[in-house]
Structure 1
Amino acid sequence: MQNTIVHSNTFLKSNKNIPWKGVTLTDSAAQHILQLINRESKILGLKITIKKSGCAGLTYQLSKVFYPEQNTVVYEHNRAKLFVPINIMPIIDGTELDYIQDGLNYSFKFNNPKAQFHCGCGESFRIYK
């Protein structure tokens, strides 16, 4: 599963030695993002953010992107775009975004190799430094 970085800014251009693996999208996640884009033509893709929340400390949030932002890396797979703010790359570097079915429910699933603890309900995670 090969992603392409489609946008970088001055920070990335001046710091080429950052050893990031990046964020990848599964085919299923890319397909769902494209469905969202097709429903609402002004959407460019989805953006991942992280906020403090839940019993484990951190939670992922996905939001629609309507215009490109500064200090963001954009990963693309099968034309689906995932926008990632540079400031969260150390936390989610190497993460795979999937879109799965669990019973009757569908949801995005974050497979983050840096997340060392997840709460019981699966809504939050913790990273030990």
Structure 2
Amino acid sequence: MDVQTGSFDPTDFAWKGLTLTPEACSHIRKLASQQPRFLGVRLGIKQTGCAGFGYVLDTVKEPNPDDLLFETDGAKLWVPLSAMPFIDGTEVDYVHEGLNEIFKFNNPKAQHECGCGESFGV
């Protein structure tokens, strides 16, 4: 019997985390200044769309016990632990596209996106 053994790097199993661009930080802080009891935003995922998963953003007035906090320059982003395997390493940006302003997600785990850009697959 031919058994191949290998090694693994424990850092491959450590969360890289999520990052916020300066534009995303600015927008989250702006939202916080306009809403009472607003602490930040929660980025989760749900099964949807033609590619498999969609991003879900909610305001946070009280974090959930299983949320992980990523804070940059006073802007707080919570992520449910269950979403981390799908979005770990994601950069959250806030961009202007024509007349629209939206959060954009640069997710290194996304293998493909649907044509409309509303969902992704891993």
Letter in 2 for 1:120: G
**Equivalent residue of 1:97, what SS?**
strand
What is the percent sequence identity of the aligned residues?
Answer: 50
Gaps of 5+ in 1: 1-16
Cα displacement string for residues 49-102 of structure 1 (whole angstroms, at most 9, x for unaligned residues): 100111111000100000121011100011000001111111110000000011
Counterpart among 53, 59, 76 of residue 58 in structure 1: 53
Partners in 1 of 2:67 and 2:13 — Cα distance?
14
Counterpart among 101, 109, 112 of residue 114 in structure 1: 109
**Equivalent residue of 1:37, what SS?**
helix
Which residue is equivalent to 2:15? 20
Cα displacement string for residues 4-30 of structure 1 (whole angstroms, at most 9, x for unaligned residues): xxxxxxxxxxxxx95110000000001
Which residue is equivalent to 1:73? 68
Which residue is equivalent to 2:85? 90
Letter in 2 for 1:61: V
Letter in 2 for 1:122: G
Gaps of 5+ in 2: 1-11
TM-score scaled by length of structure 2:
0.88
4+ residue runs over 2 A deviation = none
Larger radius of gyration: 2
Partners in 1 of 2:67 and 2:101 — Cα distance?
27
Which residue is equivalent to 2:120? 125
TM-score scaled by length of structure 1:
0.83
